[in-house]
Amino acid sequence: MTAVRRTVDAVWKLESARIIAGLTRLVRDVGLAEEFAQDALVAALEQWPSAGVPDNPGAWLMTIAKRRAIDHIRRSQLLDRKREELARDLDEQPDREPDDVLRLMFVSCHPVLPTAARVALTLRLIGGLTAAEIGRAFLTTEARITQRIAAAKQTLAEQRVPFELPAGPELAARLSSVLEVIYLVFNEGYAASAGADLIRADLCLEALRLGRQLAELAPDEPEVHGLVALMEIQASRSAARTGPSGEPVQLHEQNRARWDQLLIRRGFTAMLRARDLGRPPGPYVLQAAIAVCHAQARTAAETDWTQIAALYGALARQLPTPVVQLNRAVAVGLAAGPQAGLDLVDSLLSDPVLQNYHLLPGVRGDLLAKLDRPAEARREFERAAELAANSAERDFLRRRAAQLPAEPIGRTLGQVAGEFLRRDDLDAQTLRSYAQTLKRLRLTLGENLPLAEVTPDRIAQTFATAWGSAAARTWNRHRSAVRSFGAFADLPDLAGTLDRRTEPSTTRPTVDLAELWARDLPLRERVLWRLLADSAAGPGSVLGLNVEDLDLAERRAWTGTTWITWRSETAPLLTELVAGRERGPVFLADRRRGPGRPPMAADVCPHTGRTRLSYERAEYLFKQATGHTLSALRPR
């Protein structure tokens, strides 16, 4: 950009909101108004480099834009007299009225528009940013922003959104939409300000300017001043919130000398303006009041946590989001002691929204550490580290865990789950499914929870939070995984409090058993398939059977975790298959194993030297015979 271009750009950003707002009042269409304003900008780019920047560039731009608007009316399809009347009328209208920009804000933040469109349009019309600048700030393309803005203008025209100040009951809702857009822009910038991307961090300044402007335009609205106070005070900490290598620094560890006192003062002033209006505080005023409490404390230790906890209590009543509740618990923990905080945090454990939120176990860990329960605290920090998405935070949480003493806790959930999933008697699909269930248990309960503390109550709570609203089939799948895990880990009642849910009729493929049994089948296949059809046992368990497990007289076999039973028609066939063998696998492979990796001793028949029939081979044989997988044999 040349120097003149940069000057034109600076002037444009200072003036465009007023020009577009004034034009919108005249032509009653945001899209048209912006077009005329752009025409004026083009004229400035043509003329200013040689003629110089005029003394009053805002008025210059407005004059050009207004002339374009009048030309537009003169060229329109209206009757001559009507056209002249409109053009003269427009020419006589004042360039500016005090409420123009405020009206434009209400239009660009109108609830008929999607949030992303409101943000883009507001930055464009009020902030004077180009589509390219907005695209860079929101990590998207210029084309997409241009499209978004065009669509927004069209919606505003189609819905005939008036260029008026909302009044009465509508005002509160419309104003809160404007505040939401501004705070969203601020947070986008604030989140980015830790990184190197200055364009994104500049959004904080845009939001602050929008907020400050709004506070002058709507001085009787306490929430506007509340938002401004909140943003000023948050912005005051921006230099202190990252360490030398870009790592986040928590509020209580920040160097308060690096807080910008000027912005803090401005925040206090805005807060006083809100308070002077004497109305009950809304969410922005309450959040600002919390920020004020922090800003007033000269050291972290001087923070008035009792006041902050009370403010969060009031905020949670108006804005009962899980994150507000969690912040409240932190404040209560500092005001009334860690046990009070922990009680509140524990009441949030069953909230599905928070189940993957790393700060929940992070806060719990902190409170547990203060309660001198280091083992549990360590587990919570480890769990928080697992859930944290940001590597700086993950490292921080791991360090906190490592600072706490490790205790001899015997076998842990993570260890036993690992062993359970390394079993070789389960098919790959079952293992995958079990792994899913256990992953959730490990994330929610912690990798290092002692096995003895894996209780049915904890399982029930995890289930309610994670799968309480899932389909019955999903619930049952996880339930059976937990039952299987419980049996494996010797915790037989693990799924004791979980009811099996009724599933809607499934579309599992069926096999015509009568037809199958009527076929001329090899004895081994016939026995295997009958056993699977007779009992509810899975192929893994049945293939894992050994001759010594069989109780042929009682028609049952013990798999180590459960009984398998069969019908009387199957009994003689099984006796025939065993054929006097006393030990070793019931179902044997066709051939002896060749050289290569030696099989486990338990998988070799001592009588014949043949190995156990593999799961893959068994599936293959059934697929060849019927086109289905063995699961189709399972009785329902």
Residue with tokens 């500049």: 202
Per CB under 8 A, 122 contacts other proteins: no
Minimal distance in Å, beta carbon 421 to other proteins?
A: 50
Of 258-266, 302-310, 364-372, 511-519, the segment contacting other proteins by CB under 8 A is 258-266
Contact track, other proteins, 160-199, x by CB under 8 A:
----------------------------------------
Q: In this complex, which beta carbon is closest to other proteins, that of residue 233 or of residue 335?
A: 233
Q: Does 208 bind other proteins (CB under 8 A)?
A: yes
Backbone phi, psi, residue 455, to 5°: -105, 160
Amino acid at 346: D
**Residue 260 touching other proteins (CB under 8 A):** yes
Of the two residues 240 and 443, which places its CB atom closer to other proteins in the complex?
A: 240
Any contact of residue 211 with other proteins (CB under 8 A)?
Answer: yes
Q: Does residue 485 belong to the site contacting other proteins (CB under 8 A)?
A: no
Closest approach, Cβ 239 to other proteins, in A, equals: 4
Q: Is 259 in the site for other proteins (CB under 8 A)?
A: yes
| Using rule CB under 8 A, residue 253 touches other proteins | no
| One-letter-per-residue 3-state SS of 167-223 | CCHHHHHHHHHHHHHHHHHHHHHHHHCCCCCHHHHHHHHHHHHHHHHHHHHCCCCHH
Q: Answer yes or no: are the C-beta atoms of 377 and 397 closer than 8 Å.
A: no
Helices 57-74 and 30-51: crossing angle in degrees, nearest 10, is 130
Per CB under 8 A, the segment of 49-57, 370-378, 388-396, 425-433 that binds other proteins is: 49-57
CA angle (83, 78, 100) in 5-degree steps:
60
Size of the site for other proteins (CB under 8 A): 31
Spatial distance between the Cα atoms of 217 and 213, rounded to a whole number of angstroms: 6
Least separation in angstroms between residue 368's CB and other proteins is 36
> If binding is defined by CB under 8 A, does position 238 make contact with other proteins?
yes
Q: Mention every residue, 6+ apart, whose C-beta is less than 8 A from residue 496.
A: 456
**Nearest residue (CB) to other proteins, 57 versus 446:** 57
Nearest approach, Cβ of residue 50 and other proteins (Å): 18
Strands in 563-565's sheet, in edge-to-edge order, are: 550-551, 556-558, 563-565
Question: In the complex, what is the shortest distance from the CB of residue 49 to other proteins, in angstroms, rounded to a whole number?
Answer: 14
Distance CA 107, CA 183 (A): 17
Q: Which residue has the tokens 């029939």?
A: 613
Does position 14 interact with other proteins (CB under 8 A)? The reply is yes
The yes or no reply on residue 213 touching other proteins (CB under 8 A) is yes
Q: What is the DSSP string of 255-310?
A: -GGGS-HHHHHHHHHHHHHHHHT-----HHHHHHHHHHHHHH-SSGGG--HHHHHH
Tell me: does residue 7 bind other proteins (CB under 8 A): yes
Tokens of 181: 């857009």
Question: Which residues, 325 to 354, sit near other proteins by CB under 8 A?
Answer: none
Question: How far apart, in Å, do the first and last CA atoms of the chain sit?
Answer: 74
Q: Which stretch, 7-15, 138-146, 180-188, 347-355, contacts other proteins (CB under 8 A)?
A: 7-15
Q: How far is the CB of 63 from other proteins (least distance, A)?
A: 18
- Return d(Cα 336, Cα 341) in angstroms, integer: 7
Q: Tell me whether residue 36 or residue 259 sits nearer to other proteins (CB atom).
A: 259
Candidate residues 151, 240, 443, 511; the one interacting with other proteins per rule CB under 8 A: 240
| Binding window for other proteins (CB under 8 A); candidates: 11-19, 305-313, 367-375, 456-464 | 11-19
Figure out which of the listed residues 82, 258, 432, 500 binds other proteins, where binding follows CB under 8 A: 258
For 590, the 3-state DSSP assignment is: strand
**What angle separates helix 115-125 from helix 100-108, to the nearest 10 degrees?**
150
In 3D space, the residue among 290, 288, 194 whose CA is nearest the CA of residue 247 turns out to be 194
Q: Could you tell me if 30 and 63 are in contact, meaning their C-beta atoms sit under 8 angstroms apart?
A: no
> What is the contact mask toward other proteins in residues 262 to 291, using x (rule: CB under 8 A)?
xx--x-------------------------
Asked whether 501 and 467 are in contact (CB, 8 A), the reply is no
* CB burial string 554-571: b at 16+ within 10 A, e below: ebebebeeeebebeeebe
Work out whether 251 is an interface residue with other proteins (CB under 8 A).
no
Contacts with other proteins, residue ranges (CB under 8 A): 6-7, 9-11, 13-14, 53, 55, 57, 202, 205, 208-213, 216-217, 235-236, 238-240, 258-260, 262-263, 266
